[in-house]
Structure 1
């Protein structure tokens, strides 16, 4: 395991390519988590350095300090990876680890502080040290594909929140069926059957909507 490095204010500012005055300003605006104190000396670590580099990248893309401050607060108070995924919880979804720069590249022009804060609130994203973790590679791929088709990421996230509500209701429906009528069965064995029903019904519903749209 790499040894944890710590920096005094002057060294951190130099590594981040900013002035000490700018670093103090960011700290006053609460864009950085508090440093470790040892007497009168403030010690910063690699997490602070990564945060400063992310701030610089967002500023270069034209984002405001107010928007970046909202994003910083969302990250600092958001769920960590264990809360997001559930320790030991089985899942068919593959989490994806990304740097802030890689995530921004996935959603060029759409990875605004507001959208990232919404994704954190929805539970799509969490942080693990200097990395961002997306809960599902499939959801990440679909979201970025929809954005490439011209759909704003904010609209994709709003749709995701509504889909989440319906998906939770469907999952509770099938869980209730299993509890009531097949209490001795392994739920994992019946899971593919529930997914097949939902996929078939969604496919039929899309056929109906597209047919109606064509008539209109």
Structure 2
């Protein structure tokens, strides 16, 4: 326990407190010996990062309970409703391969704040294959993952506003329309407008 606390940068007393609050899963026991592993260390580092970002212990405990009890991660991340996005299960090694040194507890906490990432037992789940691939490609181009996530948060705000615009238009003028038919039409408008906006911005920057 002392070694785990040292690696996590916390006191043994804090570690015991986290264990009592069930913020970390119980250790594997062999007789009177308790064995902790890398998954416990990763959880402790994530807890520290979440606390630094303003999360409460109660909120973290609820998240930990959901993970450890195997509740549906898709529901936890707001994917209970139908979606065209494909969640992706990852291991810590996968994240390291995709993001290299940017796969830090701080960036993990930021991704959880955005609702991009959750965990299911020992697996990490990303809510969208498209977002994961795009984020990884941007990092490989030299953009820090922290900057990608910050941009993602700004895009999320604008995307919510765009979704509201199209929802209002459809509900006002075509309330009986099939949503599965209207959705791709709205997406095509947004994609075309974004493409034109990027064209304009590139001309300004050259």
Taking structure 2 as the reference length, the TM-score comes to 0.74
* Residue 98 (str. 1) matches residue 90 (str. 2): yes
Alpha-carbon contact 2:117-2:125 (below 8 Å) kept: yes
1:70 alignment counterpart: 48
* Residue 84 (str. 1) matches residue 77 (str. 2): yes
- Paired residue total: 181
Alpha-carbon contact 1:99-1:131 (below 8 Å) kept: yes
* Residue 195 (str. 1) matches residue 187 (str. 2): yes
Alpha-carbon contact 1:95-1:136 (below 8 Å) kept: yes
Unmatched runs of 5 consecutive residues or more in structure 2? 68-72
Structure 1 position 31, deviation (Å): 8.8
Report the CA distance shift for 1:177/1:72 in structure 2 as closer, same or farther (over 3 A). closer
Taking structure 1 as the reference length, the TM-score comes to 0.71
2:13 alignment counterpart: 28
**Aligned-CA RMSD value:** 3.3
Report the CA distance shift for 1:123/1:31 in structure 2 as closer, same or farther (over 3 A). farther
Unmatched runs of 5 consecutive residues or more in structure 1? 1-19, 59-64
Alpha-carbon contact 1:70-1:117 (below 8 Å) kept: no
Alpha-carbon contact 1:54-1:100 (below 8 Å) kept: no
Q: Alignment partner for residue 130 of structure 2, among 134, 138, 154?
A: 138
Q: Alignment partner for residue 117 of structure 1, among 96, 106, 109?
A: 109
Counterparts of 1:3-82 in structure 2, within 5 Å, are: 20-23=1-4, 28-30=13-15, 34=19, 44=27, 52-54=37-39, 69-71=47-49, 76=61, 78=63, 81=73, 82=75
